[in-house]
Amino acid sequence: MAAPILQIHDTDVFYGASQILFGIDLAVERGQTLALLGRNGAGKSTTFKAIAGIAPPRRGHIALSGQTLSGKPPYLVARAGIGYVPEDRQVFPEHTVEDNLIVGAKPGPRGDRHWTAARIYELFPVLAGMRHRMAGRLSGGEQQMLTIARTLMGNPDILLLDEPSEGLAPIVVRAIGDLIRTLRGMGVTILLAEQNMHFCLGIATHATVIDKGQVVYSDTIDALRGNDAVMQRYLAV
């Protein structure tokens, strides 16, 4: 087994006095697309915020390629190679599409600049056609694409996508799914938080299920698909 690129070890996260995550263990290997599945309020977004340095863990250890992330402020976590795409599509609404990409542009952790605006537009032809439009005027799906594209501009080692399909029409959800598959095909490592199990089938390679802030299952996505008990108990499918 290859050494994981992102590793979360026995991590607790609190919001004030209330504990949200209980001893989370999670490992993502290079090239994997790991689905982090769980119901509403299970703690998926909190896990992402813990990784991103926005909700620092009170206990435990988070590392990227062996480098400790826990304790670092968000901007250093990002520079270390975490590409965090938060839920609810936080584009800069009064910036053009292109300016959103420009704000996200930075070299990767080893100084590499694989992703340029030109490459982004190749991958996201929709965005190419509206590069001078205000991001606030884009549709929900286009904004979701833009937030992913903007984070890619920072040349991350791993992409954290928090419910990219949330609140989008089925046809748009399919387009986002195709995009994630394409990224996976390009070798991008992805951690994908979802409630929607069906969205993850055919996209993710592996799955980790959390419930009430604890990891309850972890295996390949195919194994999860064959495990009705887990799916019914934790995912309400």
Partner 1 sequence: MNLDVLASCFATASCAVTQVSTGLIVGMLLFLVASGLSLIFGVLGVINFAHGAFYMLGAYFAFLCFEQTGSFLAALVAGAAGAGIIGVLFERFFMSKVYGRDLLMQLLVCYAAILIFDDLVKILFGAEYKLMGMPESFATAPVEIAGGFIPGYYIFMLGMSLGIGLLLWLGINRTRLGKVIRALAINPQMVGALGINTTLLYAGVFGLGCMLAGTAGALAAPVRSLTPGMGLSVLIESFIVTVIGGMGSIPGALAAALLIGLTRAFGAIGFPLFVDGLMFALMGLVLVLRPSGLFGARAT
Ligand X SMILES: Nc1ncnc2c1ncn2[C@@H]1O[C@H](COP(=O)(O)OP(=O)(O)OP(=O)(O)O)[C@@H](O)[C@H]1O
- Which residues of this chain interact with ligand X, rule CB under 6 A? 15, 20, 38, 40-46, 87, 163, 195
Q: Considering only residues 44, 150, 184, 206, which one is a binding residue for partner 1 as defined by CB under 8 A?
A: 150
**Quick check: 52 binds partner 1 (CB under 8 A)?**
yes
**What is the CA 178 to chain-centroid distance, rounded?**
15
Q: Of the ranges 27-35, 41-49, 135-143, 201-209, which one interacts with Mg ion (CB under 5 A)?
A: 41-49
Q: How far apart are CA 191 and CA 162, in angstroms?
A: 8
**Quick check: 140 binds partner 1 (CB under 8 A)?**
no
Angle at 155 between CA 154 and CA 160, to 5 degrees: 85
Q: Which residue has the tokens 């999670």?
A: 26
Q: Of the ranges 44-52, 57-65, 76-84, 129-137, which one interacts with Mg ion (CB under 5 A)?
A: 44-52
CB 34 within 8 A of CB 15: no
CB closer to partner 1 out of 84 and 199? 84
Q: How far apart are CA 173 and CA 194, in angstroms?
A: 12
**Quick check: 177 binds partner 1 (CB under 8 A)?**
no
Instruction: Give the shortest CB-89-to-partner 1 separation in angstroms.
Output: 10
| Ranges within 104-133 binding partner 1 (CB under 8 A) | 104-106
Q: Which residue has the tokens 């968000």?
A: 74
Instruction: Give the shortest CB-147-to-partner 1 separation in angstroms.
Output: 9
Strand 33-37 to 206-211 pairing: parallel
CB closer to partner 1 out of 39 and 95? 95
Binds 73: which of partner 1, ligand X, Mg ion, none (CB < 5-8 Å by kind): partner 1
Instruction: Report in angstroms the alpha-carbon separations of 176 from 124, 165, 204, 222.
Output: 11, 7, 13, 21
Q: Considering only residues 33, 45, 70, 100, which one is a binding residue for Mg ion as defined by CB under 5 A?
A: 45
Instruction: Give the shortest CB-225-to-partner 1 separation in angstroms.
Output: 32
Instruction: Report in angstroms the alpha-carbon separations of 236 from 39, 56, 193, 196, 222.
Output: 8, 30, 16, 10, 17
Q: How far apart are CA 152 and CA 116, in angstroms?
A: 9
The residues that touch partner 1, with contacts defined as CB under 8 A, are: 52, 54, 73-75, 78-79, 84, 86, 90, 92-95, 99, 102-106, 150-151, 154
